[in-house]
Structure 1
Amino acid sequence: MLIRIVKMSFQPEKVDEFLSNFEANKTKIRAFDGCNFLELYRVQNNTNIFFTYSYWTSEADLNTYRHSDLFKGVWSKTKPLFNAKPEAWSVEKVASLE
C-alpha cells in the first residue's frame, strides 16, 4: 500500500472555488481503481492551506490516476488557484495505533 500526502496552499479568495471543485470530484477520485481511502484536511490557523491524504493499492495505481482524464480535469481547475507550489509525498506506513 502507498499513502500519498499532498500539501496545497491557495490564494485566500480562491478557497471556496477549490472546495467546490473538490466536492464535485471527491467521490470520483475515491472510486478510481486503486484508491482505497481519501481525506481532505485544512490547517486550523492558516485556512488556505490544505492536505489531501489518500491510500493507493500500488504506485502503478496512483500513476494511472495521475495520467487519467479525471486527474487532468481536476488539476486544470485546481492549479490556477495556488499561491505556492504544491508539495507531494508518497510514504509507507511504519506504525499505526488506534
Structure 2
Amino acid sequence: MLDRPPLVRIVRMTFHPGAVDDFVAHFDQVSPRIRAFPGCLHLELWRDARYPNICTTYSHWDSKDALNDYRHSDLFADAWREAKSKFAARPVAQSYTPMRTVDE
C-alpha cells in the first residue's frame, strides 16, 4: 500500500471514426512501455459504450511527479504525436486523487 493514494489520470479522446482501429493498434504497441514507465501502477483503455469513436485511457500513478515525468518523456511525445493525428476533437484530461473506497 502506498503512503498516499495514487493519482488517477483519465484522458477522453474522440477519434475520427475510421481511425479508431489504428489508434488501438498503436496503443497495443506502446502500452507495455507506458505501463513499465517508473511510477505507472495501472493502465487501461476503454471504449465508450454509446460512441465507438471515443476512447478513454485510465491510469494510476504513484505521484503527480511520476505522471509529469512521463508527460515530459520522449515516450509520451512519440505516443501522443501518433494519437493526436487521429483526433476528431480536442482530448479532455483530468487527474484525481481517490478519497474513498467502498467495499461490499
TM (norm. structure 2) is 0.91
Give, in whole Å, the separation in 2 of the partners of 1:93 and 1:76.
29
Letter in 2 for 1:76: R
Question: Is 1:49 aligned with 2:54?
Answer: yes
The 5-angstrom pairing of residues 31-70 of structure 1 reads: 31-70=36-75
- Structure 1's consecutive aligned runs of 4 or more residues displaced over 3 angstroms after TM superposition are none
Query: Please, which runs of 5 or more residues in structure 1 have no aligned partner?
Result: none
The answer to whether the aligner puts 1:94 opposite 2:102 as a matched pair is: no
Q: Which one has the largest radius of gyration?
A: 2
Q: Greater helix share, 1 or 2?
A: 1
Q: Distance in 2 between the 1:30 and 1:52 partners?
A: 12
Give the total of aligned pairs.
98
Instruction: Spell out, residue by residue over 1:63-92, the C-alpha distance to the aligned partner (whole angstroms, 9 max, x if none).
Output: 000010110110110101000100000101
Aligned CA-pair RMSD: 0.8
Q: C-alpha deviations, 1:2-34, integer Å up to 9, x for none?
A: 110000000000001100100001111000000
TM-score of the aligned structures, taking structure 1 as reference length:
0.96
SS at structure 2 position matched to 1:37:
strand
